[in-house]
Amino acid sequence: MALGVAPAPGESFASWIDRLGADMALPPGRVADVIGLGREARANDGTPLLFGVSLPPSAALAVQKATNVSVARLVAMQLSVFDGTVLDLAGWDTHAGLARVKRKQWALFLRSRACPACLAQSGGVWQLWWRLGVAVACPVHKTLLADVCPSCGVALRRGTAATARVLSRTLLIPPLTCGNRTDWPRSPAGCRQQVDAIETQPAPGWLVDLQIAYLNAARGAQMTFGDHRLPPAEWFQCLRAVIAMTRATASYLTLPGRSGLPAIARDAWGADVAASWRRSVGQESARSLPRSAALMAALSVFAAPVVLARGDAELADAIRPVAEAIAVARAERRQHGDSNSPLRGVRVPPLVEQARMRAVPYRVGVVAHLAPFTSSSAYHPPRLGFQHIPQVVCAEDYQDLLAVFLPGTLPRTGRRYAALALARLCGATSWPDAVSALGIPPERARALGGFASFRIADPQAFLRAVAVLAERLEQRGPVDYTARRAALDHLVILPPEAWRRLCGQARVVATWPRARHAAAWLWTELTGGYWEEAPALQEARWPARPLGWARLYRTFARTIPAVLAGSLRGWGTDVLAEAGIR
Ligand SMILES: [Zn+2]
Ligand SMILES: [Zn+2]
User: How far is ligand 1, taken at its centre, from the CA of residue 204, in Å?
Assistant: 14
pLDDT at 362: 46
Please state, as a whole number, how many other Cβ atoms lie within 10 Å of the Cβ of residue 418. 27
Q: What pLDDT digit, counting tens, does each position of 359-417 carry? A: 875 445 677 777 778 877 777 888 889 999 999 999 999 999 988 877 777 888 889 88
User: How far is ligand 1, taken at its centre, from the CA of residue 112, in Å?
Assistant: 14
How far apart (Å, rounded) are the C-alpha atoms in residues 299 and 284? 16
User: How far is ligand 2, taken at its centre, from the CA of residue 190, in Å?
Assistant: 8
State in Å, rounded, how far the first CA of the chain is from the last one.
86
User: How far is ligand 1, taken at its centre, from the CA of residue 119, in Å?
Assistant: 7
User: How far is ligand 2, taken at its centre, from the CA of residue 196, in Å?
Assistant: 12
pLDDT at 374: 80
* Structure letter (DSSP) for residue 202: B
pLDDT at 25: 93
State which residues of the chain have pLDDT below 50.
362-363
Q: Provide φ and ψ at 566, rounded to 5°.
A: -65, -45
pLDDT at 363: 46
User: How far is ligand 2, taken at its centre, from the CA of residue 515, in Å?
Assistant: 81
User: How far is ligand 2, taken at its centre, from the CA of residue 514, in Å?
Assistant: 82
Nearest ligand by distance to the CA of 161: 2
User: How far is ligand 1, taken at its centre, from the CA of residue 135, in Å?
Assistant: 12
How far apart (Å, rounded) are the C-alpha atoms in residues 577 and 582? 6
Nearest ligand by distance to the CA of 113: 1
User: How far is ligand 1, taken at its centre, from the CA of residue 184, in Å?
Assistant: 31
User: How far is ligand 2, taken at its centre, from the CA of residue 147, in Å?
Assistant: 11
- Residues, Cβ < 5 Å to ion ligand 1: 115, 117-118, 138, 140-141
Q: What is the dihedral of CA 70, 72, 77, 80, to 10 degrees?
A: 150
Nearest ligand by distance to the CA of 153: 2
User: Cβ(297)–Cβ(136) under 8 Å?
Assistant: yes
User: How far is ligand 2, taken at its centre, from the CA of residue 114, in Å?
Assistant: 13
Query: How long, in residues, is the chain?
Result: 582
Q: Residue 363's closest CA among 466, 452, 424?
A: 452
Nearest ligand by distance to the CA of 192: 2
User: How far is ligand 2, taken at its centre, from the CA of residue 189, in Å?
Assistant: 11
pLDDT at 383: 85
User: How far is ligand 1, taken at its centre, from the CA of residue 138, in Å?
Assistant: 5
User: How far is ligand 2, taken at its centre, from the CA of residue 156, in Å?
Assistant: 7
Nearest ligand by distance to the CA of 191: 2
